[in-house]
Amino acid sequence: MTISDSAFREYDIRGIIGQEIPIDATYDLACAITAYFLQRKPDLHLVAVGMDGRTHSPAIKDQVCKALTDAGLNVIFLGTCPTPALYFSLHTTPAQAGIMITASHNPKEYNGFKLCLGKESVSGDQLRDIRTLYKKNAHIKADKNGTITNQPIHKSYIGWLTEHFAHLKGLDMPIVMDCGNGVAGTVIPDLVQELAWKNTIILFADIDGTYPNHEADPTIEKNMQQVKHVLSTTSCKLGLGFDGDADRVGAMTTEGYLIPGDKLLALMAKPIIHSNPGATIVCDVTSSSALLHLIDCWNGRCCMVPTGHASIKAALKKEHGLLGGELSCHFTFADRYFGFDDGIYAALRLIEQIHMSNETLSDLVNLFPPLQSSPSIRIPCDCSKIPEMIATITTYYEHQPQTTLITIDGIRIVTPYGWGLARASNTQPVISLRFESDTQKGLSRIKKEFAKLLIPYIDTDTLKQHLGI
């Protein structure tokens, strides 16, 4: 069996193990990745490898390390760790490239790779180049094999965080944190101990790649029910949840409100802009119009880019931005940090902000104007039809008065009564939709317009179920 074309996504390589990604094919895939690395960086000699807690990650790690060392490259194996810890290693060790074995928030049957060359994410056409090399069976065999050194990263990573948030030591704020049986569990308990937080409740810190309690995606409310229960039955003032590889964080108020990523981005952007007037904040195309308005009101500059952590990081670097974020709760700080997405670091910045402001999370999020917004609506569909769906929506709205079309990622339609977005997901075979309006009537109208345009491609009952119309 070979790696399916569908596993090569926009920002990573990810698929169902045994179907899209057979484990016995991961050696050849890692050989193609190695060939790509060496084509782009001929002096490459040291690669950092990390893995998440999925049941098949150790077997894939063995194949990856064998491919790298067969090509004469040396490997530092970081152990089971968060994806941000791998990124951290690229800034704090001599490693010149990184391979993280993870499928992030996807269900337990998935796995894959997030890749970095130098300190930059490998994405888009670069991943398609790797797919071409894989299909050509590109292998590099060196005269002398490289070495593998076990170099766990979590102590160094925790040490850096503890040093840079030393002002939070002994914090008595009651907090509940849900590690979701993902690799946040390799960091959060030790970090809380180092910071001497005695009022922190930690849920599901044991690493279990079967995710027995809930899927490790804190942006979905059903996955934060245990956090909600703790908030309602204890004195905890803040609820946090991490995804499977801990590059995202979700936050919940004491009232049980799970805050969308664009609202979190706004409240974290405010003090940064205050300290750095004119600062650039990067957001993705799914973000609320209220976010754009607030950043402008605070004398910041907003840069909207396609959805995806690689797009956010690239734009931050290009535009010299200080903070970037997505609705999906990837947050990338270049202010006081290295400029990569890190759910654990973002959690610390949020805790710091609440502590220093003497306000609750509910107080902070109230700065966001009240709008009628849908969540990100993900509808399973035939992915090959998504370009046609987007073209149909585009053609219709091109002829509507007072309508603006934003085409940086799918199509975002801005009308006098609200906006709607349709785009292909980068992580799963779904079309992703989002809607927003000043009024419930406007929200219903834009949803129904999109539904009518999508009926030729998605059955009516499915559309009604997902759109709530």
Q: Give the active site residues.
A: 104
Residue 437 dihedral angles phi and psi, to the nearest 5°: -155, 165
Q: Which two tokens stand for residue 449?
A: 């317009």
- Residue 457: DSSP 8-state: T
3-state SS, residue 162: helix
Structure tokens at 203: 């849920």
Instruction: Check if the beta carbon of residue 196 is closer than 8 Å to that of residue 170.
Output: yes
Beta carbons within 8 Å of 391's beta carbon, 6+ residues apart: none
- Give the tokens for residue 277: 């007037």
Contacts of residue 155, Cβ cutoff 8 Å, sequence gap at least 6: none
Q: Quick one: tokens of 42?
A: 């001929």
Strands (E), 118-199: 120-121, 148-150, 175-178
The CB-based long-range contact list for 301-310 (8 Å cut-off, 24+ gap) reads 304/406, 304/408, 305/408, 305/409, 306/408, 306/409, 307/409, 307/423, 307/426, 307/432, 308/10, 308/11, 308/123, 308/284, 308/426, 309/11, 309/121, 309/247, 309/341, 310/10, 310/11, 310/121, 310/123, 310/124
- d(CA 282, CA 300) in angstroms, rounded, equals 10
Distance (Å, whole) CA 368 – CA 302: 16
